Structure 1
């Protein structure tokens, strides 16, 4: 049949529309149908393997369509119907169209534009540490949730993207006598049939699906002190702790210190806490450290059980994680990114803000050092060719998990800190307040935040360009700085390129508009100078008439960049090391580490600098060389004699410091002294392998276990901070009898901190048969919590034979292990490649794991980065082997 031109065009348009409707949206969903309110009722019995639910979504249909795309994974849907305001009701035909959980709902006749109600009735299995999942820590069954990033679609059908943000009505039907909590306060409870109670909760604020949360079971629910009114909020907020049965009293410290954190954040934001109550859930098994669900924050229970007597890292971990999650109540919950490419707006900001608030409230924690340390760690990841941008496009579901990494959290946090310092604290704070007020209860992008910060600066265009340069391109700048004093004014010659380690295949291309701050000394004292510096090379005139005696290219260590200098300028800087502040000394240490990894210096030069750094006043700087020295022992030393020479060197440069401190904690000493002592003891026992110290620690570890005594645990046999190391030494120096005692105590304990210490010891077993027994625990049903699995999976691999055995086991059991740690299964590849340092080993990984990793959340990038790191290790080994191990 012949068509007129007009008819032909119309036919083509219809065909194009039909093809578009059939194309599965593995990334963002189309906006043809958008929800404006969602009601979810779930019927949950924690003792069962499945639950059921009904979801009613009020939606706006933008244009006529026969297809509605949404999300749902592993759901058994018994009825799905659309009821338009104008039009006949229709039943959907539902198909799961993609492994990521994309649902295609089709009706016989087009749904017309306008309002409609979608109703879906279904049942589903409980998840594995995502979605709604079950835990059984104490013989009782509990249900808790983790919706981010893709868990919501395992729990209810819907529009599972951060850009779909609307109010929710949640109802939970649970067995009589069970407790139920959700994001908002409970409005009422009522009978829901024989043996069941319906709990109805207040309508939420606008929220995306990934922030919906609930918990069901025989939870302890304990009241904390209400968050009192203050200058920002004129009403109290209800605060509660939720823990497994019998554990609620352990949340006293966590609840008592919540109010001061919230008040400090309210004062910073000048916006009241945004939700109607605050519940803190201590989950007995949880994959992440914590999750910022609006009004119902979920934590690993160990974080919520810290108190004044806990080891330093546990207590500081509580403050840091809690402040991070509370910051999310504004940054992420009140204002949400529209898509996962802007995840850094949530996580980088909470990383920066959490450290800032804890630094104000607990100055002895020195959180600025911790933030700097995490930024330096991110620089390692950011030096890879396979790294990603902070503001990285997310095209499909396997990309999303990759965004939860050091680039998002630590690099993003460091970039925020750098621009806060450059713009000024007060101006930066004012920009954050304006941004939150403008976008409250809605969504905002990177451009929205950057524009807000740029507008309060003295150079909006420059700050905007500089900020975008750091989030929209990958890599770490390295700045080559040299002083020139042969003209009327001293100058700094500045060149920049991308920092790359030896063997990198990444291009050196990259150019940043740098917020460059330098500190220099001359006859008139110390000076600091800042400015935006761009171009491959630039000249900066110093604001002095005297030639500087030294230049520190990263004043206050605030810049997210590395630096290099000529040998003469580097020598001048090292000679003035004591004039640098603590952050600048750490930045100097990083420049030495980076130079070694780039092949610019050999082991003699590095170890000479390490001897100086070992006496630096700040813990992080003093211990900075240890990872590289450990690498030398494992990969560079050609024989046992060279390994021992490096161990002896470690003992010589760190031993006197430990001797001065002593191995026993002192009353009233700082947290930092305790942490440094613990690091030095671990170094002497582990890296230096000093026999007397190892024997002493092993004896104390056996005393903790009651070996040779009554067989009972004696937790006070050694300082709390040293207990985990002592238990590991007992196992490393012990035999099957020690293993059996450790295992027996593990089986009888529900204390999450002690369990972690016992498992760490079991995982450190050296004997091949015992190491195999430790790994087998990961597969034994009900033996370990799922967040404990990695402790034994990655343990006991200090020599090549042990690593080979571990790899063979992980390869053989990959599917079972991945299912247990899902959605974090992609990280298992790091356990497999650990210790590899040859091109041949790297080339063997992709054929074995390429297919397995291709459909895992975060799998493709995790595989690429693991293989690249092995090849870089091989290149560095080749480069540094030319000179070999040379002690200074």
Structure 2
């Protein structure tokens, strides 16, 4: 097809340009490396002592040289290269190595050209341990551990390599480690040899073809727990050996996660019709880890809190295990078995795993209602996707700074929602056949967006049209906004549909944009509810409701909430839908609520009209619908009310909307209650206690929080507050208890290695809003050896929530910018969020741009973070200007 040919041509031109630049020796390849040298096997030997400041090693790379060259490009960042040579045939070529770009591009130069043919490169090097990327060291319990996080650019900080997804080859890994330490890697251990001086050499089985970002290993005094073997399934006739890896003394806490991993993996095998692609499966519970988890082939790494729930844990923690594990195991096929060719297609990994993880989690745990979670993620992504500076799902990657930006809600949630939308349109079974076809065609290799889309569209009734529609969602930014009117004047009722891009008040984005929108339309025809699918294209279109026997009573243009688009109904249709709200599917109720909040954001609904709609949502069965619009009330309270007295009166009216729902739930869990009830109670209790400052709820949370902290004469009782409410109880107790409560929380924090409790205590210490205590919380960040690096944001995050505490936090970020950037790498761009919270004027946007634009210029993900934050501040200012002076009444409008 035309789009496919265009992409193929663009890729050919890009590769030709790279080759030409290489031949001329005139440019450093900061994007994809030239294919002049392609590895076929990497043999990696590392000498790792976790007690030291770094490691040493050798890399032997067997490769094919396509044409004679005196320059080879690889990756290595911050390495000390001790020696490098190439051998082609019987001749050895010494290589001069230098890092020639901040992204970690290595230039290896030979004094005489390397001939075409098969070559072996040998490189000896030293590498310092990184900061939560590459190979890095953690010390959670006084002991030293080394572990890895290679995606996206960490591998080049650990060893020289061809560090990009398109280079995919087997790896042979050997680790030389202290004799009493445990060593694990992607493959199963094949041999251990004792070495002089208290060392041992551990050799691992050669892996299947993998890109460098999926290479993983860990060394230290780890607990190794045998999980249940995963029994044969389908074409897989041998069991899979499952293990848990955890810090010393923590292995016993993995019983729940190991017990339930097999059913997730088997469900994925059944869906794909392809056996688990690797030789073994280890789940590693990381004591300090920036991401939630990482899908390394055969050695998946999780934050330890995700691996340690049990039946007594909060609903949120247990659901987080199921959801994250389903996501990471889905990656073993999407990302590991088949790998994207370049970072512009990372949605093939992450968007797919988001969609697939929700599907499998929901299949195995229907009470989790993961379809609602997927929808909520899509609605959240629409917020970022409404910015003029948003990016495409399939976004060109210019250089290394853009790669980190690709791991965002557009990739994960919009990518996942787009897949769900086309699954609904094509049909679930046909869609699965397309997935299987794609995986089998590209197994152990690389693929592109076009490969997946064409495999899926090929299962539809109109492959060309569906392919064009799919590309319209990944190749352009923004959220479709469809306006719908019903015409019953003809023989057949019809919908007149127009579409444009959704733009909020103050946006500089053009609304002149269209998509191929696969709509599922549901409508009331007499006593029946019918549905019809339509692929809507162009600015104006007409869809006849061919099954309708009469003029529909109501129309839902986003049936089952399956579409990644927003809608606006004509006034008559909107009133009819409001009157029939209880007749809608539960997901349809959520998108109906979103259509109201979106209209408010676009300026077609006043604050009072939005407030008048909230009671209808608050009474909905689904918790996500019940709380829709709640965030908007917080924004109104902060930005549209001039004094505390007016704010208190406003909060009282907001509380009256949600109090009946909270009263029905009660402040204590009930035996056998639905998981959604527990989660909704948690949300409402936090809203009433922290945001609305409700005296009754605060008193109860304070009582419970004081018991947890042991402030009333008794020993601390960690289970005094229900697990789903303990974070709020602690926050209130710290706000009410002052320095005495802070001291007690800090004492518990210093004594605990429980990641969940530590985060709850830190978060509570960060929301006191007492200047002296805020300063103490910030000081914890730089106390040597105290905080895990993923605890930095909980330690100060609460100070973002109060206008009075933000200036001191900004001054602190300014004063410690360099230290924070180093400690937060590779997520240093997040400092922009710490600084910008609450900003809502053009002057503040200008000041932020001036201060952080230069600072973030070379930070991974930094330039886009600054651009989008500045735009968000300007949109807030435009919203504030448009709404200032308008009434905030709660009467029905």
| Smaller-chain TM-score bracket | over 0.9
Q: Name the counterpart of 2:254.
A: 251
Q: Following superposition, which runs of at least 4 residues in structure 1 exceed 3 angstroms of deviation?
A: 15-20
For 1:583 and 1:236, the matched residues in 2 are separated by 39
Distance 1:399 1:27 in 2: 10
Cα shift readout 1:588-626 (whole Å, capped 9, x = no counterpart)? 110111111111111110001012111111100000111
1:33 aligned residue = 37
Cα drift, residue 403 of structure 1: 0.4
Q: Where do residues 325-474 of structure 1 align in structure 2 (5 Å cutoff)?
A: 325-474=328-477
Query: SS of 1:667's equivalent?
Result: coil
Shift of 1:637: 1.6
Kindly indicate whether the alpha-carbon contact (under 8 Å) linking 2:347 and 2:411 is maintained by their aligned counterparts in 1. Answer: yes
Query: Structure 1: which 5+ runs fail to align?
Result: 1-12
- Distance in 1 (CA, whole Å) between partners of 2:233 and 2:85 is 48
1:301 aligns with 2:307: no
Q: Hey, what does 2:545 align to over in structure 1?
A: 542
* Residue 856 of structure 1 pairs with residue 890 of structure 2: no
Partner of 2:577: 573
| Aligned residue in 1 for 2:187 | 184
Alignment of 1:489-508 (within 5 A): 489-508=492-511
Alignment of 1:683-694 (within 5 A): 683-694=687-698
Aligned residue in 1 for 2:587: 583
| Structure 1 residues 19 and 35, CA gap change in structure 2 (3 angstroms) | closer
Q: Is the 8 A contact 1:642 1:885 kept in 2?
A: no
| 1:544-591 CA-partner distances (Å, limit 9, x unpaired) | 241111111111110100001222221111011011110000001101
Rounded to whole Å, the distance in 2 between the matches of 1:316 and 1:523 is 40
1:286 aligns with 2:289: yes
Post-superposition shift, 1:882? 4.1
- Shift, 1:798, TM fit: 3.4
Deviations 1:823-879 (A, max 9, x none): 011111111111111111011011111111011111111110111111101101111
Cα RMSD over matched residues? 1.3
Give yes or no for contact 1:228–1:235 (8 Å, CA) kept in 2: yes
Is residue 93 from structure 1 mapped to residue 96 from structure 2 by the alignment?
A: yes
Name the counterpart of 1:631. Answer: 635
Structure 2 contact 21–27 (Cα < 8 Å) conserved: no
Match in the other structure for 2:269: 266
Tell me the secondary structure at the aligned position of residue 665 of structure 1. Answer: coil
Q: Distance in 2 between matches of 1:189 and 1:582?
A: 57
1:667-722 deviations in whole A, cap 9, x for unaligned? 11111111111111112112221112212211211111111214x42112111111
Q: 1:223 aligns with which of 226, 233, 247?
A: 226
Once residues 542 and 638 of structure 1 are traced to their aligned partners in structure 2, the CA distance between those partners, rounded to angstroms, is 50
Look up the match of 1:158.
Answer: 161
Pair 1:869 & 2:833 matched: no
State whether structure 2 residue 606 is matched by structure 1 residue 618. no
Q: Deviations over 1:170-204 (max 9, x none)?
A: 00000111000000000000023321100000000
TM-fit CA distance, 1:524 = 4.2
Where do residues 784-863 of structure 1 align in structure 2 (5 Å cutoff)?
784-863=787-866
Provide the aligned length of Structure 1 versus Structure 2: 873
Which residue number corresponds to residue 665 of structure 1?
A: 669
Indicate the residue corresponding to 2:150 in structure 1.
147
Displacement after TM superposition at 1:166 (Å): 0.1
Change (3 A) 1:843 1:17: closer
In structure 1, the residue matched to 2:121 is 118
Q: Cα distance, 1:639 vs. partner? A: 2.2
| Preserved contact between residue 51 and residue 144 of structure 2 (Cα < 8 Å) | yes
Determine if the alignment matches structure 1 residue 556 to structure 2 residue 560.
Answer: yes
1:236 paired residue number: 239
Q: Distance in 2 between matches of 1:206 and 1:294?
A: 10
Shift of 1:16: 7.0
Task: Check conservation: 1:61, 1:116, Cα contact below 8 A.
Answer: yes
1:776 equivalenced with 2:779 (yes/no)? yes
Q: Any conservation in 1 of the 2:86–2:92 contact (CA below 8 Å)?
A: yes
Q: Hey, what's the Cα distance between the residues in 2 that align with 1:688 and 1:479? A: 36
- Tell me if the contact between 2:304 and 2:755 (Cα under 8 Å) persists in the aligned partners: yes
Partner secondary structure for residue 290 of structure 2: coil
* Secondary structure, aligned partner of 2:620: coil
Q: Structure 1 residue 18: deviation in Å?
A: 6.9
Is residue 717 from structure 1 mapped to residue 720 from structure 2 by the alignment?
yes
List alignment gaps of at least 5 residues for structure 2: 1-16
Aligned partner of 2:3 in structure 1 is none
Shift of 1:643: 1.3
Q: Deviations over 1:709-736 (max 9, x none)?
A: 14x4211211111111100001111211
Q: Does 1:887 align with 2:887?
A: no
**Stretch of structure 1 that moved more, 77-86 or 238-247:** 77-86
1:640 Cα deviation after fit: 2.0
Moved more, 219-228 or 628-637: 628-637
Structure-1 separation of matches of 2:118 and 2:70: 15
Normalising by structure 1, we get a TM-score of: 0.97
Question: Which residue number corresponds to residue 645 of structure 1?
Answer: 649
- 1:550, 1:121 → 2: CA distance? 71
TM-fit CA distance, 1:809:
0.9
- CA distance, structure 2, for counterparts of residue 203 and residue 147 of structure 1: 19
C-alpha spacing 1:16/1:437, structure 2 compared with 1 (3 Å) = closer
What's the offset of the Cα at 1:19? 7.0
State the shift of 1:650 in Å.
1.9
| Alignment partner of 2:86 out of 66, 82, 89 | 82
Report the 3-state secondary structure (helix = DSSP H, G, I; strand = E; otherwise coil) of the residue aligned with 1:159: coil
Query: C-alpha distance in 2, partners of 1:693/1:257?
Result: 36
Residues 78-132 of structure 1: CA distance to partner in whole angstroms, max 9, x if unpaired?
Answer: 101111126x311111111011111111110011111110000011110000000
Partners of 2:55 and 2:127 within 8 A in 1: yes
- Judge which range, 312-321 or 566-575, deviates more: 566-575
C-alpha spacing 1:16/1:679, structure 2 compared with 1 (3 Å): closer
Tell me the residue number matched to 2:317: 314
1:816, distance to aligned residue in structure 2 (A): 0.7
Q: Distance in 1 between matches of 2:719 and 2:301?
A: 30
What CA distance in whole angstroms lies between the structure 2 residues aligned with 1:468 and 1:746?
A: 50
Q: Contact between 2:769 and 2:802, CA under 8 Å: does it hold in 1?
A: no
Q: Distance in 2 between matches of 1:193 and 1:348?
A: 49
